Amino acid sequence: MGSFMPKVINHELRRDAILRRAFTLFAQKGYQNTSLSDLAAVCEIPRPSLYLYFRDKEEIFTYAIKHYTDKMFSDYRDEAKLSGPVLGHIRRIVGSIIFKSWLNRDFIFSMGDYLFQKRHEGKDFPEIIRRRTLKLDHLLRRMLRRGVGTGELRAIQVNATSTQILDLIQAYLFKLAITGTADPRQTIAVIEVFLEGLAN
């Protein structure tokens, strides 16, 4: 008789698969309407097996946000390192955020659902989202400083300008999260006018 060979499970791949399917399910049903049983069913694993990878539904959701944003930020860091006019790079980064949010608007809508529940529970803004906002702020500040240094941009207040760009992006995301519909072209047109006003 041949010896029995136990099935080897790659836990990192399993974890990533759970996040991908959870991302889709949260987008379809929203945060509050998605249960751990729903997540286990869509991932085709027993519910107790979920606890091998995540503590609870909230941790799955916050890691889904991380999974969603990690590749984006990697791309943006690469874009920021490229030579050439800074405003062109900022336009591409901002445009990418707006359009990718529009394409994933169901998940953005479910994120609004999640944040509303956290506020209702009296809990702070999730740290994972706060860190992502800070990373983008630092990236924008670095690029703006470079633009001022090369003379491409006026002698602007870098920190305040970065905050204004983020405010415009967040206003769009807020509208998208609340209504589920928000024309990305209008927001990009507004941001374009703002960026053009920074040029020397």
Do residues 42 and 57 lie in contact, with contact meaning Cβ atoms separated by under 8 Å?
no
What is the per-residue pLDDT for 3? 55
How many domains does the chain divide into? 1
Is residue 12 included in any domain, yes or no?
A: no
Q: What is d(CA 172, CA 186) in angstroms, rounded to the nearest whole number?
A: 10
pLDDT digits (tens, 9 = 90+) for 9-46: 677 888 888 888 888 888 888 888 899 999 999 988 99
Provide the domain limits for residue 176.
64-196
Does residue 37 fall inside a structural domain?
Answer: no
For 41-82, the pLDDT digits (tens) are: 998 899 998 988 988 888 888 888 887 788 788 889 899 888
Q: Half-sphere exposure of 185 toward its Cβ, with a 13 Å CA cutoff?
A: 0
pLDDT tops 60 at residue 184: yes
**pLDDT for position 108:** 83
CATH number of domain containing 166: 1.10.357.10
49, part of any domain? no
Which structure tokens are listed for 93?
């980064």
What lies within 8 Å, CB to CB, of 157 at 6+ separation is none
**Alpha-carbon gap, residue 61 to 91, rounded angstroms:** 29
Residue 157 in any domain: the answer is: yes
- The pair phi, psi for residue 155, each rounded to 5°, is -80, 75
